[in-house]
Amino acid sequence: MPFRPNRHRIHRFDWLYWVLKPWVTFSFRQYYSRITVVDAHKIPVNLPVIFAPNHQNALMDALAVLYATHGQPVFLARADIFNNPTQARLLHFLKIMPVFRIRDGAENLSKNDETFQACLSVLHDRHALCLMPEGNHGDKQRLRPLVKGIFRIAMLTQEELGESVPVQMVPVGLDYHHYQNFRRPLLVQFGDPIDVSGFLPLYRENKPKAFNAMRDILAEKLSQLIIDIRNDTFYDVIHELRFIYTPHFVEKDHYSAFRFDKHLTTQLDQFAQEQPEKLEPLAAKVRELKEGTEKLNLRYWLFRKKAFQSFPFLPSLLLLVLGFPLFLYGLIHSILPYWFPVRFIRIRNIKDPQFHSSFKFVLAFLMFPLVYLLFFLASLLVLPHFWMSLLYLLSLPVTGFLAFNYFILLKKVRGFLRFRRMKKRKDPYLMRLIQMHDDIIQMVQQLVTSPI
What is the pLDDT averaged over residues 291-304? Answer: 96
What is the pLDDT averaged over residues 278-287? Answer: 95
CA-to-CA distance for 3 and 350, rounded, in angstroms? 28
Q: What pLDDT, on the 0 to 100 scale, is given for residue 102? A: 65
Between 43 and 7, residue with greater pLDDT: 43
What is the pLDDT averaged over residues 83-104? Answer: 79
Q: What pLDDT, on the 0 to 100 scale, is given for residue 109? A: 67
CA-to-CA distance for 109 and 316, rounded, in angstroms? 59
Average pLDDT, the chain: 91
Q: What pLDDT, on the 0 to 100 scale, is given for residue 136? A: 82
Instruction: State yes or no: pLDDT of 32 exceeds 90.
Output: yes
Task: Fill in the DSSP letter of residue 3.
Answer: -
**Is the backbone of residue 24 left (phi > 0), alpha (psi -120 to 50) or beta?**
alpha
Cβ 359 vs Cβ 341: under 8 Å: yes
Q: What pLDDT, on the 0 to 100 scale, is given for residue 79? A: 80
What is the pLDDT averaged over residues 258-269? Answer: 95
Q: What pLDDT, on the 0 to 100 scale, is given for residue 299? A: 96
- Which residues are CB-neighbours of 208 under 8 A, at least 6 positions away? none
Using DSSP's 3-state secondary structure scheme, residue 161 falls into helix
- Which residues are CB-neighbours of 417 under 8 A, at least 6 positions away? none
Q: What pLDDT, on the 0 to 100 scale, is given for residue 117? A: 86
Instruction: State yes or no: pLDDT of 3 exceeds 60.
Output: no
Q: What pLDDT, on the 0 to 100 scale, is given for residue 416? A: 97
Instruction: State yes or no: pLDDT of 234 exceeds 90.
Output: yes
- Which residues are CB-neighbours of 140 under 8 A, at least 6 positions away? 229, 235, 239
Q: Rg (Cα) of the chain, in Å, rounded?
A: 25
Q: What pLDDT, on the 0 to 100 scale, is given for residue 106? A: 62
Task: Fill in the DSSP letter of residue 85.
Answer: H
What is the pLDDT averaged over residues 83-106? Answer: 78
What is the pLDDT averaged over residues 79-99? Answer: 82
Q: What pLDDT, on the 0 to 100 scale, is given for residue 355? A: 85
Between 108 and 236, residue with greater pLDDT: 236
Instruction: State yes or no: pLDDT of 289 exceeds 90.
Output: yes
Instruction: State yes or no: pLDDT of 128 exceeds 60.
Output: yes
Confidence class for position 2, pLDDT limits 50, 70, 90? very low
Instruction: State yes or no: pLDDT of 5 exceeds 60.
Output: no
Instruction: State yes or no: pLDDT of 1 exceeds 50.
Output: no
Percent of the chain predicted with pLDDT > 90: 74
Q: What pLDDT, on the 0 to 100 scale, is given for residue 7? A: 59
Instruction: State yes or no: pLDDT of 402 exceeds 60.
Output: yes
Using DSSP's 3-state secondary structure scheme, residue 188 falls into strand
Confidence class for position 105, pLDDT limits 50, 70, 90? low
Model-wide pTM > 0.95: no
> What is the number of residues in the chain?
452
Q: What pLDDT, on the 0 to 100 scale, is given for residue 81? A: 77
What is the pLDDT averaged over residues 434-451? Answer: 91
**Is the backbone of residue 341 left (phi > 0), alpha (psi -120 to 50) or beta?**
alpha
CA-to-CA distance for 35 and 28, rounded, in angstroms? 9
Instruction: State yes or no: pLDDT of 41 exceeds 90.
Output: yes
42-46, Cβ contacts within 8 angstroms, sequence gap of 24 or more: 42/170, 42/190, 42/191, 42/192, 42/193, 43/69, 43/170, 43/190, 43/193, 44/168, 44/170, 44/193, 46/126
Residue type, 126: R
Instruction: State yes or no: pLDDT of 342 exceeds 70.
Output: yes
Q: What pLDDT, on the 0 to 100 scale, is given for residue 8? A: 61
Angle at the Cα of 52 from the Cα atoms of 15 and 217, rounded to 5 degrees:
150
Identify any residues that bridge with 260 across adjacent strands, giving them in sequence order: none
What is the pLDDT averaged over residues 212-218? Answer: 97
